[in-house]
Structure 1
Amino acid sequence: MAASFWTQANALLRKNLIFQKRNRKTSIRIIVYPIILCVLLVLIQSLINNELHKSKYKCGCTCVDKNGNGSCETVCGIQYSTLDQVDSCSVPSPFEWPVLLQVPRPEYRAVQNSFDTFAGLPEKSCRDSESCPATVLFTGGNESLANSLAANLFTNVASSNLSDYLSAFSELIPGTDTVSGDTQFIDPAFIYGRPIYTNQPQCISNSNREFSFKIDTVTMQEDLECVRGLPLWRRSSSDVNDELFKGYRKGNAEMMINEVMSAYDFLETDDRNFHVNVWYNSTYQNTSVWDTTPGLLRVLRSINIVSNAYLQFLKGSGVKVLFEFTKEMPKIATQLSFDFSSLLGPLFFKWVIELLLPVILTYLVYEKQHKLKIMMKMHGLEDGAYWAISYAYFLLLSTAYVVFFMVFGSLIGLKFFKLNDYSIQFVFYFTYVNLQIVLAFLATTFFSDVKTAEAIAYIYIFGTGFVGGYLLPSFIQDTSFPKNWLIVMELLPAFSLYRGLYELSQYSFSGDYMGTHGMQWTDLSDHLNGMKDVLIIIVAEWLILLPFAYYIDRTASRGNISMKGLFSVLQRFLTKKSISTQRSESGKVFIEMEKPDVIREREVVEHSLLESRTSHAVICDNLKKVYSGKDGNKDKFAVKGVSIALQSGECFGLLGPNGAGKTSLINMMIGLVKPTSGNTFVQGLNIQTEKDKVYSSMGVCPQNDMLWEMLTGREHLMFYGRLKNLKGEALMQAVAESLRSVNLFHGGIADKFVGKYSGGMKRRLSVAISLIGDPKVVYMDEPSTGLDPASRNNLWNVVKQAKQNRAIILTTHSMEEAEVLCDRLGIIVDGSLQCIGNPKELKARFGGYYVLTMATSTNEEHEVEVLVNKLSPNAKKIYHVSGTQKFELPKQEVRIADVFLAVKDAKSKFSVQAWALSDTTMEDVFIKVAKEAGSI
C-alpha cells in the first residue's frame, strides 16, 4: 500500500529537521551574520551620536543683560549659533528670506570658446574682470512673441530703498551663486559671504551697493552687485538642450564649460494661452553620497520672472506679481542626529535578507548533485509532498530569520526598524522570502554542482546590491526619469528588494530627522512612495513563478524540459488505455538477427501484454534509446529493442561489457530516462504515466551510493521505511532487521554518520535501503562492488532470501555472483539482447566444449597440435603464446578419460611443463557471446 501524502510529508520533515540539527554550525553562522552587522551599525551610530552631542553641535547660547542691571541671562538661538549648531535650535518664528534666482559664478558663466560656436555669447576675456553676463536661453513657436517676452524678463528698476530689503528685492530680481540648503530656516546665500546679485538688462557704474538686515537682534551686512541678464534666442528646444548639456557641470567646477542661468521654451504661447517650459540647473542642490535629503531648488524666482514678463506683455510694464519672501514652518528644538542605519540600510539589509538564497539553493542543488532527490522519488516520495514540505520548511526558517532580524534590530535601537510600521516590514519581508524560495527552486534546475551554484548566488547578491545602490537612488530622486522604467528594473527581484528597503530607509531617516514616525500604511497611497508597486511586483512574480518552477522541476526530473510536459496531465485523462493499447508501435528492428531464445522472450512479452491481467512483475516491451548525433556525428543507438518479462520470485541478471547499454536499459526501466520508443510495466502499471504508483512498490540500489553524509545508517532506513508506509513498531523492527542482515547493527555502526562509513559499509546500506518496506520489484546495480569476500557472501545470502517474494533485476560484472544469485541471465552487447536463459542453459548452448591448456617448449608446439587433432578433429585453438596453447574440444567428440590417457602418453614422448582440462564457465560464455556479437 502506497504511503499517503501526510506519511510522506512526515518522513521528509523528520529527515529535514535532523539534517538541520546536524548543520547547526551553519545555522549559527547565518544568524550571527545579521547580529554582527546590526551591532556594528549600533557602534558606528553611537560614535556618531557621541560626536553630535558635543557642544559644537548644540544650539548656540550667549549671556544677555535683558534688564540693564548687569545681570546675565542665558539666551539660545540661531543668531548665536554657528552653521554646525543651527540645525538643533528651536525656530518658533522662522525668518523671512528673499526669493533668489540661481546665478552662475562669474568664472563659469557662458562665453565664446574654440570648441563651440553658440551665437550671442560674450568674449572669454570678461571672466578675467568677472563682468560676464548671466545667459538666459529662450525659444518658442512664435519668435517675435518670444523676443517680446524675453525683453521683459529683466527690467531696470529705479534705486530702491534697501532698508526694507524684502520689498525691494521683490522688484530687483535678486540672485545668488551659492548652493541651496535643504530647509529655509537659514538661506546660505546670506551667510557664506558671497554677494547678492541683482539681475538687470544693463549694469551702471554705481549699481553695486551694500545693504544691512537683521537676524533677530544681530545686524548683518551684505554686498549687492549687479549682473547683466542676457536673453539669447535659439531656433528650437533641441538647440537649447544641446547648449545646456555642453555647459553641464561634470562632477566639479573645473570641468564646467559654459553654464547658463536658465532657459525657457514658450511653446505655443500667444495672447490667450500661456504655456512655457523652464530649464534650471539642478547641480546646485545640497546633496552628496552621504546626504540623501534633496536640497531646495531655486526655481520659484525663475517662474516668477517669466510670469511677470507675460503679464507685462498683456497689461503693460506697470503690472507685476510681487514675490516678497519664503519661510519655513516653525520648528522645535531638536538634538542633532544622523541615522546611519537608515542611510546604509538598503544595501546592507538587502545582503542580510538575500543571504538565505545561497543557503536554500545549495541545499537543493546538493540533493540534485548527489541524486538524492531521484533516490527519494524512486522509493515513493511524490513531487507534491516533496515540494510542500521543502517549501514549508524553507519558509519556516526564512520567516523565523527575518522576524529575529526585525526584533533584534529593534531591541538594539536601530531606527530603521523602530520607526517604520512593523506590519509593513513583516509583509514586505514575508512576501519577498516566498519569492526568494521560488527563485531557489527555479535556479536549482539549471545547476548541477553545489560550488558553482553557491558562487553564482553570491555574485548575484553582491553584484545587484552594488548596481542597485549606484543606479536606483538617482533614478528614484530624478522626477524626470520615467516611472515605468523603474518598474521594469524592479522586475528583477534583487532590485525590488532594494527599492522596498530604500523606501523604508527614507521614511525612517526623515522620521528621525523630523522627530516623527516612519512609514505607515497610509503612506503607500503617496504616488512618490514606491513600496506599493514593489509589493505588487513581488506578489505577482511569486504567484507566476511558483507554478512555473513546479512544472520545470517536474519535467527536469524526467529529463525532458519541453512544452510537451504542459499537456501530460491532460493526456492522462484523455487516454485511459489498457496495457495492450499503450504498447509502442515502433517496428521490430534487428528481429531477423535475434537468437531463438531472445525471440521466444519477445513472444512471451507480446502474449503478456495482450492479457487483461498479467502474472509478470516486470515487462520491458521493445525498449529503444537513440541519442541524437551532434556536430555531424551519427545517432547513437544505446538500446535496440530489448524485451524482457520477469516473474515474481525471480532474480534476473543483466550482463554485458562496458558501454553495452546496461545502464541506459536500467534507467529506462526505472523511469529515470524516457525511452525513444517502447515501454516498461511494473505490476501492470505504466512506468511513464503511473510512475508515482510504481515507485511506492519499488526498491533501488544504484551503482553509486546516494546517501546523506550527515545522517546515520539507522536514520536513512527510518526515512525510507516511512516512505514505504512503515510505522511504529513495524518500522523499528524492519529497520533493525535490515541493519542485522547487512552487518551494520552491532558495534554502534548503525548510529554513526554515513560520512564516516567505508565504501563497503555504504554499499551494504544501499542494499538494505533497496529492500526495506517489502518492495515487489528491486533493481540492484552491481550491489557487491567494493565488498570483501565475507561481506559479499553475506550479501548474497540476503539477496537469495529477498528474492523469494519479489522480482530482482541485478547487473554485475562478477560471473560468480551471476551464477549464485540469478535464476536467469541476459547478455546485452552493443544495445541488443544476445541471449537469455538460466546459467546451465547458457553454458550448455555456448559452452559445449572442454578447454585444454598445455604448456611446452616452443619447438614442441607441433606435437601438441597433433595430439589435440587426434583427440578431436574439430578442436579449435583459442590461445597461443610462447609454448602455451589453449584449445576448445567439443564435448560430443571427446571423453575426459581419453584426454587423460592421451596426455599421459604425450609426456613419455616430449616434455609437458603443465596442462589443464576445464569445463566451460560463465566467464567463457560471456566472452564468447561478446566476441561473436562484436564480429557480427
Structure 2
Amino acid sequence: MRGASMVASTNGSTSSGLWTQCNALFRKNLTFQQKRNMRANLRLILFPVFLCLLLVLLQEKVNMELNKSSLKCGCICIDQDGDGECEKVCGIEYSDMEQVGTCSIPSPPEWPPLLQVPAPQYRAVRTDHLLSFGDLPNDSCISTGSCPITVLMTGNNQSFGESLARNMFSSSFNYNSSNGPADVVLGTTAHTKKSSFLELSFFSGLPVYYLQSQCRANSTFSISVPLASMTVEKEIGCIQCRHLWRNSSSDINNELYVGYKNGNSLKKINEILAGYDFLNSNISNYNVTILYNSTYKKDAGNGPIRLVRVPRSINLVSNAFLQLLVGPTTQMLFDFIKEMPKPETERKLDFSSLLGPLFFTWVILQLFPIVLTALVYEKQQNLRIMMKMHGLGDGPYWMISYTYFLAISLVYILCFVVFGSFVGLKFFTLNDYSIQFVFYFIYINLQISLAFLVAALFSNVKTVAVVGYITVFATGILGGFFFQFFLQDTSLPRVWIVVMELYPGFSLYGGLYEFSQYAFTGNYMGAHGMRWGDLSDNNNGMGHVLIIMTVEWVVVFFIAYYIDQVLTSGSGARKSPLFFLHNLKSNPSKSFRNPLSSFRLPSLQMKGSKVYIELEKPDIVQEASIIPVVSIPTFYQKERVELSLLKQDKSHAIVCDNLKKVYPGRDGNPEKIAVRGLSLALSTGECFGMLGPNGAGKTSFVNMMIGLVKPSSGTGYVHGLDIRSDMDGIYANMGVCPQHDLLWETLTGREHLLFYGRLKNLKCTVLTQAVEESLRSVNLLNGGIADKQVRKYSGGMKRRLSVAISLIGDPKVVYMDEPSTGLDPASRKNLWNMVKRAKQNCAIILTTHSMEEAENLCDRLGIFVDGRLQCVGNPKELKGRYGGSYVFTMTTSSNHEADVENIVKGLSPYAKKIYNISGTQKFELPKEAIKIADVFRAVENAKSRFVVQAWGISDTTLEDVFIKVAREAQPFDVLS
C-alpha cells in the first residue's frame, strides 16, 4: 500500500514579501498611531523639558546665593593717594573665612611642613586586639592623653635601621627662631583639604606638636607664620615619638591597615604614624620604602581627594641617612610647603551635574513602561495574532516594532539633549557629544530589548504598567541612595561594581554618574568634561559600562526572541524549544501517511455494567476516509480525504486529516477531548458551515486551522501546506473574522483596511479600490463612518469591519466565527451578499448559531457535537435525511379537539401530537405515509362540519434537524 503527501501549491499566492510587510506595519505604527497619540507624545517630550527647566531654575537660585557679596572676596575702601578719595581694595586680609576661598592669591603663604599624627585617643596601645604587640604602651595612657606616637621600622639590617631611627627624632629641644620651624619635626591632628592655601591646624582649635624621642615637662614654644599683612601665632607642645622594630613589612602593613580613625567605634583603634622598610639599605646604599595609611585621603570613600602629609616623612628619613653618613650638623632643610598662585574665582555649584544621575535616570527610564505597555497591549487584545493570521511574519513584526520604538526613543533623547544643551546645563555642554550619543544609543537599544523580554512574560497591560513604573522609580532611588556609595568608594574592588552594573538600571546610573562627575569637575576647574581619551583612565568607569550594555543588548535581544517563540502564545502556537534547528530536520508535511490510518472500527466503551457503541455515520465515513466493500478486486473505495491525500488532488483548498485536540487535565480534572478525529475536505468556491452547541469543539477546530493551537494528532492542509509546519505560508493566503472583534481603538475603519490590504500585497490604485469596495460592501462608506475611529463604532459596525478585513485581498481560505452576531436584518443581508460574492474564489469555513444564515450561505453543513462531526451535507439533504415528517397545525374551539385528532389519525395512524393548548394542536406526520393532497381534502371536510379558525402544514426546519442530531449524538445504551 502506497501513501502520498500533500505538495505545497503557491499558484496564485498573494504572499507579500518582507519589505511589503515591513512597509504595512511601519505605516500603521508611525503614521496612523503617531497621529492618534500626538498629545501623549507631546507630554512625553515635555517631561524632560520640564525637568531641564526645573534644573535651570534651581541653578539660577543657587547662583544667586553663591554670588552674594558676603561670599565674594572681602573689600575695603582706602585712600591710597591721600587725595581724600577712597579706592576699593580687595584681598584675603579683608576677608572672612567664607570669603577667602574666592580671593586672588598671587603669592600663596608658606606653611611649615607637618606630619599627620594620630589624636591622643586613637594612638597605638597594647590591647587584646589580634594585631597588637607587647612593646606598645599600656592603654592607661589614653585616659591621661599621654600616649606616645608610634613609628614602625623593618629591614634587612636592624642595627642600621635603629641608627637611622635615632637620627629622625631628636631627644633634646633645639628650636632656633632664626631658622624657623624647619629645625623641628612638627605634626598635627587636623586634616588637610584639597589645597594648601590655608593650613587649618593654625586656624582651628586642634593642637600642633613637635615630635621628640623624649619630652620635658611643660616643654612648649610659639611660632609665627606670616600671612599677607598679618601674622599667625601658634602654641606648639611636645609629643613623644617612639620607634619600634618589626620582623617584616607585612607586619607593618597589617598594623597600618588595622589602625584607622573610626569616631563611631567604641573600641580602641591603634593608629600608627608611619612605617619604614629599609630593605637592603646600608652605609653605602640608601633604599627605603615608606608605608602610611591613606584613609585620610577621603572620608569614608566620599568627598574630594585631600592632600596627604607624606613629604615630611620622606625628608625625615633622608636627613637621618645624611647625618649618619656626613655628621649630625648636616641636614636638608624642609622650610615650607606652598600652593601654586591662584586667580580670583567665583563660587560654582553645577546643580544639574549634582542631581543629574538621579533625575536623568528617571527621564530615560520612563520610556521603558511606555514601550512595555504598547507591546503587552497588542498581545492582550490579540492584535498581534490577528496581524499574524493575515500574513505578518515574526521577522517583519520584530524588525518594524523594534525600529519604531527605537525611532521614538532617539527623538526623545535628541530632544532631551538638545534642550538641555540649549538651556546651558553643564551636564550636556561640557561632555563630548559623541560619547553621549554612543552611550544613549546603546542603552535605549538595551532598554527596548528588555521591554520585549519582559513583555513576553506578561499578558495584562495594567499589571505590566505597574511593574514598569515601579522599576523606573526603584532604579532611581536605589541608584542614588545605594549604588552611588559603591561608585564613590575607591576601596571597593572594581569587579563588584561590574557585577552590580549587570543590572541595566545600574549601568545607566553608572554612565550618568561618570558624565556628572566630569561635568562637575570641569565646571569647577574651568576645563572640559569627558573626552574619549578619558575612557582609558583607570578611575573612569564609562568604558566598562559601554561594554556591559553592548553585550547585554545582544544577549537580551536573542533571549527575548527565543522566549517569544517558545514560552509565550502571544504570536500564536508555541514552537519547539529547538525550532531554530527546524531546517535540519525532516519536514513533517512531507512525510507519508498510511491511507488505512483513517479507517476506524466502531468504538466500544464500557462504563460500569453498560456498554456503549459509537458508530460512524455513512456520510462522515465517506467524507473522512474509506469504506470497506464486498468486492475483493476493488478492496477499498477511496473517498474525499483519502483521494485528496493519495492523488495530491489540488482542487481541495482545505483538507483535514483525522484532526484531534486533547487539552491536558489541570487541578485534578481529567483531560478534555475537544476534537475527536475530524476529517474534512473543502473545495475552492465552497462555503462550509459548522453548527453545534456551545462547547462542541468548533472553536478548537478553527484555532487549530488558523495556527493558534497545535493539533494533538492528525493534521490539516491548506492548499497543500501543512498546518503543523507551514503556517507562515498559509497566513499569506488566509483571512480570519474572529468571534470577538480584534481592532485598534484609535485607528479608523479605512486605516484598518489599508493596513491589512498592504499585508495582502495590494498597492497603489488596486489597494484604494479594494478598500473602497470593502467599505461599500459592508455599508461603512456613507456618512463618513469609514474615517471615524473604531472606538466610536457600534458593535454592529465593528462586526462588519471585521468581516471586511477577513475578505480584503482575495484570500484563498477564510474562517468566519459567527460573523453576523449583533447585526440588524439589513446589515445581515448585505453581509450575506458580500460572503456569497467572495466565496466564488475561496473556501470558507463558517461557524454560526443562525439556521437562516447557514441555509443562505453554506453549500454544505456539518453538525458538530461532543468533538465529533455527526453529519455532513447540504441543508436540503440534511432536512430530508433527518427531518422525515411534516408538522400539521390546526386551531378550533376546545369542543372539537377530539374531532381534529380523529381527522389526523385518519391521515396517518403514526401521527404524533406534539403540542396542545386552548384548541391549538400540532401533530408530526410521517412524510412517507401521507400526501399533501390528502391533507387539503381532510381540512376541507373538517371545515364543512365545524369552524376551523386556522390551520397549516410545514416541512421540517434546519433547526429541527439540528436539535434532533444533537440529541441523538449521545452514546446509545445497548446493554445493561
Give the stretch that moved more between structures: 618-627 or 183-192.
183-192
Choose which of 776, 779, 782 in structure 2 pairs with 1:740.
776
Taking a change above 3 Å as real, the CA distance of residues 702 and 201 of structure 1, as seen in their structure-2 partners, is farther
In the TM superposition, what is the alpha-carbon distance from 1:647 to its structure 2 partner? Answer: 0.6
Choose which of 825, 829, 845 in structure 2 pairs with 1:793.
829
Answering whether residue 962 of structure 2 is matched by residue 926 of structure 1, we say yes
Give the stretch that moved more between structures: 578-587 or 717-726.
578-587
Q: Deviations over 1:887-926 (max 9, x none)?
A: 7664445566778999999999999999986543222322
In the aligned structure 1, how far is the partner of 2:904 from the partner of 2:811? 53
Aligned to 1:258: 268
Matched position secondary structure for 2:696: coil
Unmatched runs of 5 consecutive residues or more in structure 1: none
Answering whether residue 676 of structure 2 is matched by residue 640 of structure 1, we say yes
The answer on whether the counterparts of 1:713 and 1:765 sit within 8 Å (CA) in structure 2 is yes
The answer on whether the counterparts of 2:22 and 2:400 sit within 8 Å (CA) in structure 1 is yes
Aligned to 1:476: 487
The answer on whether the counterparts of 2:479 and 2:506 sit within 8 Å (CA) in structure 1 is yes
Q: Return the letter of the residue paired with 1:595.
A: K
Answering whether residue 701 of structure 2 is matched by residue 665 of structure 1, we say yes
Matched position secondary structure for 2:225: strand
In the aligned structure 1, how far is the partner of 2:23 from the partner of 2:368? 25
Matches within 5 A, 1:612-761: 612-761=648-797
The answer on whether the counterparts of 2:109 and 2:226 sit within 8 Å (CA) in structure 1 is no
In the TM superposition, what is the alpha-carbon distance from 1:653 to its structure 2 partner? Answer: 1.1
In the aligned structure 1, how far is the partner of 2:148 from the partner of 2:893? 117
Aligned to 1:490: 501
In the aligned structure 1, how far is the partner of 2:701 from the partner of 2:493? 58
In the aligned structure 1, how far is the partner of 2:576 from the partner of 2:327? 77
Q: Deviations over 1:33-71 (max 9, x none)?
A: 111100110111111111111122222334678899999
The answer on whether the counterparts of 1:434 and 1:542 sit within 8 Å (CA) in structure 2 is yes
The answer on whether the counterparts of 2:589 and 2:725 sit within 8 Å (CA) in structure 1 is no
Aligned to 2:441: 430
Choose which of 77, 88, 91 in structure 1 pairs with 2:105.
91
In the aligned structure 2, how far is the partner of 1:911 from the partner of 1:117? 126
Q: Return the letter of the residue paired with 1:610.
A: L
In the TM superposition, what is the alpha-carbon distance from 1:515 to its structure 2 partner? Answer: 0.5
The answer on whether the counterparts of 1:137 and 1:234 sit within 8 Å (CA) in structure 2 is no
Q: Return the letter of the residue paired with 1:10.
A: N
Q: Report the aligned-residue RMSD.
A: 4.8
Give the stretch that moved more between structures: 195-204 or 415-424.
195-204
In the aligned structure 2, how far is the partner of 1:836 from the partner of 1:864? 38
In the TM superposition, what is the alpha-carbon distance from 1:383 to its structure 2 partner? Answer: 2.4
In the aligned structure 2, how far is the partner of 1:531 from the partner of 1:586? 66
In the TM superposition, what is the alpha-carbon distance from 1:167 to its structure 2 partner? Answer: 4.8
Answering whether residue 880 of structure 2 is matched by residue 844 of structure 1, we say yes
Matches within 5 A, 1:203-222: 203-222=215-234
Matches within 5 A, 1:134-153: none
Q: Return the letter of the residue paired with 2:848.
A: T
Q: Deviations over 1:250-282 (max 9, x none)?
A: xxx566543443488999989899788754545
Aligned to 2:75: 61
Q: Deviations over 1:476-527 (max 9, x none)?
A: 2222212122112212221111111111111111110000111111111112
Matches within 5 A, 1:299-378: 300=310, 326-378=337-389
The answer on whether the counterparts of 1:285 and 1:297 sit within 8 Å (CA) in structure 2 is no
In the aligned structure 1, how far is the partner of 2:308 from the partner of 2:192? 8
Taking a change above 3 Å as real, the CA distance of residues 235 and 635 of structure 1, as seen in their structure-2 partners, is farther
Taking a change above 3 Å as real, the CA distance of residues 21 and 341 of structure 1, as seen in their structure-2 partners, is same
Aligned to 2:637: none
Answering whether residue 537 of structure 2 is matched by residue 523 of structure 1, we say no
In the TM superposition, what is the alpha-carbon distance from 1:13 to its structure 2 partner? Answer: 2.0
Q: Return the letter of the residue paired with 1:368.
A: K
In the aligned structure 2, how far is the partner of 1:501 from the partner of 1:535? 12
In the aligned structure 1, how far is the partner of 2:204 from the partner of 2:764? 84
In the TM superposition, what is the alpha-carbon distance from 1:928 to its structure 2 partner? Answer: 2.8
Q: Deviations over 1:429-450 (max 9, x none)?
A: 1222222222222222112122
Aligned to 1:451: 462
In the TM superposition, what is the alpha-carbon distance from 1:646 to its structure 2 partner? Answer: 0.8
Q: Return the letter of the residue paired with 2:198.
A: I
Aligned to 2:844: 808
Choose which of 556, 564, 573 in structure 2 pairs with 1:553.
564
Q: Return the letter of the residue paired with 1:409.
A: G
Matched position secondary structure for 1:563: coil
Give the stretch that moved more between structures: 10-19 or 577-586.
577-586
Aligned to 2:96: 82
Q: Percent identity?
A: 54
Q: Return the letter of the residue paired with 1:459.
A: I
Aligned to 2:62: 48
In the aligned structure 1, how far is the partner of 2:160 from the partner of 2:601? 92
Choose which of 169, 180, 187 in structure 1 pairs with 2:199.
187
The answer on whether the counterparts of 1:133 and 1:229 sit within 8 Å (CA) in structure 2 is no
The answer on whether the counterparts of 2:260 and 2:295 sit within 8 Å (CA) in structure 1 is no
Q: Deviations over 1:380-407 (max 9, x none)?
A: 2222222222222222222222122111
In the aligned structure 1, how far is the partner of 2:86 from the partner of 2:400? 76
In the TM superposition, what is the alpha-carbon distance from 1:651 to its structure 2 partner? Answer: 0.6
Answering whether residue 330 of structure 2 is matched by residue 294 of structure 1, we say no
In the aligned structure 1, how far is the partner of 2:194 from the partner of 2:953? 106
Taking a change above 3 Å as real, the CA distance of residues 449 and 864 of structure 1, as seen in their structure-2 partners, is farther
In the aligned structure 2, how far is the partner of 1:656 from the partner of 1:801? 26
Give the stretch that moved more between structures: 755-764 or 84-93.
84-93
Q: Tell which structure's C-alpha radius of gyration is larger.
A: 2
Taking a change above 3 Å as real, the CA distance of residues 336 and 149 of structure 1, as seen in their structure-2 partners, is farther
In the aligned structure 2, how far is the partner of 1:270 from the partner of 1:863? 140
Aligned to 2:48: 34
In the aligned structure 1, how far is the partner of 2:574 from the partner of 2:154? 63
In the aligned structure 1, how far is the partner of 2:443 from the partner of 2:592? 48
Give the stretch that moved more between structures: 511-520 or 680-689.
680-689
Choose which of 593, 618, 638 in structure 2 pairs with 1:596.
618
Q: Return the letter of the residue paired with 2:444.
A: V
The answer on whether the counterparts of 1:627 and 1:638 sit within 8 Å (CA) in structure 2 is yes
Matched position secondary structure for 2:528: coil
Q: Deviations over 1:80-129 (max 9, x none)?
A: 43332233223344444445444555567788999999888989886775
Aligned to 1:8: 21
Aligned to 1:533: 544
In the TM superposition, what is the alpha-carbon distance from 1:792 to its structure 2 partner? Answer: 1.6
In the TM superposition, what is the alpha-carbon distance from 1:775 to its structure 2 partner? Answer: 1.1
In the TM superposition, what is the alpha-carbon distance from 1:749 to its structure 2 partner? Answer: 0.8
The answer on whether the counterparts of 2:105 and 2:342 sit within 8 Å (CA) in structure 1 is yes
In the TM superposition, what is the alpha-carbon distance from 1:709 to its structure 2 partner? Answer: 1.1
In the TM superposition, what is the alpha-carbon distance from 1:862 to its structure 2 partner? Answer: 12
Matched position secondary structure for 1:793: helix
Matched position secondary structure for 1:495: helix
Unmatched runs of 5 consecutive residues or more in structure 2: 1-13, 604-613, 626-639
Q: Deviations over 1:760-796 (max 9, x none)?
A: 1000011111111111111111111111222222212
Q: Deviations over 1:546-573 (max 9, x none)?
A: 33333433444243265222322x23xx
The answer on whether the counterparts of 2:589 and 2:724 sit within 8 Å (CA) in structure 1 is no
Give the stretch that moved more between structures: 678-687 or 260-269.
260-269
Give the count of matched residue pairs: 923
Give the stretch that moved more between structures: 743-752 or 331-340.
331-340
